[in-house]
Structure 1
């Protein structure tokens, strides 16, 4: 049975969908996964059927009963406000602002520059080679992680997770971005706090079950 009729439109390697899967797992919510293949046949997200669900043609989208919620940050905060168990945001306004700041650094400043449609545009319009495309991604990832590392290292409330010793919103976004960094061979050695938090998160089942390779629409290994 799906808790509250939750259905997540997702793609196995979408970092935005990955962060929502983590949030759903941390909240202990059952949900139905509705895979949307972003590459096959030019991308299922561009089809008329999915455009009715999300006019942007992007994943993730969360369906809760008859309600559709789009954009990963909005989805995660909607889940936190709708299902009180296992809160993903801290209790004070100052701590919530710090967590939201980290999350938005990733969602607004880092993630869009490596998004599939941006990379496809670089290739199509500017004839970027695979090597140039990956250099572009690593450049923006490195700038973002430099800032994240500094913010985490200087914050006395950084604990086992981005904020204290409870996994929350910022961790939901950090882990998928570290996954992307490894995918594109970014050297993570300069970011010890980031690496420590990521490693700790991945010891938890909620994060393990959300990984791209654990998804039913992931290609078989090898």
Structure 2
């Protein structure tokens, strides 16, 4: 409660008490981005009197937000908007979460050839059907990606798509995992297996390809 004095034009002074309510402007924090297939995100915990509400979501999606700002159900790529309001007033802050698509691509493998009974050790692994020429890649030996690259440190995909060549004919089999990064650092992983080529065998016992696909945030 504040006291306000009013002085009229005839120098008479009057006073009145006026109740001033100070409205706190909510702060919903910065906009966020997640990568497909992630469907969740965490917005800031509201303070006393503040409430989170859904404002906008892509058609076909079914997002939900809990009172403490936990978002789920962002199952479609696109923009999701949420409003943090204070005591039901028009004072609010809007935050958007963008769910970005993961890169799409396939892998191809040439298992290697023979010269008579000797292996040529010329197997290759290639990226095919990459969705965006600007995407970059990293490749590691193993069935799970454990590299340390991101978009800034990964390699550009060659025009011919060949990312590993002159691979030695393995004694058994060897798996390789390729991770493709977008400029937004969303990524997808795919694994392919190089089989041993028996150069003393005929065409009926040539090795077959085994591949595994993993898409992650």
* TM superposition score normalised by structure 1: 0.21
> Which protein is richer in strand relative to its size?
2
* TM superposition score normalised by structure 2: 0.21
Bigger Rg, which one: 2
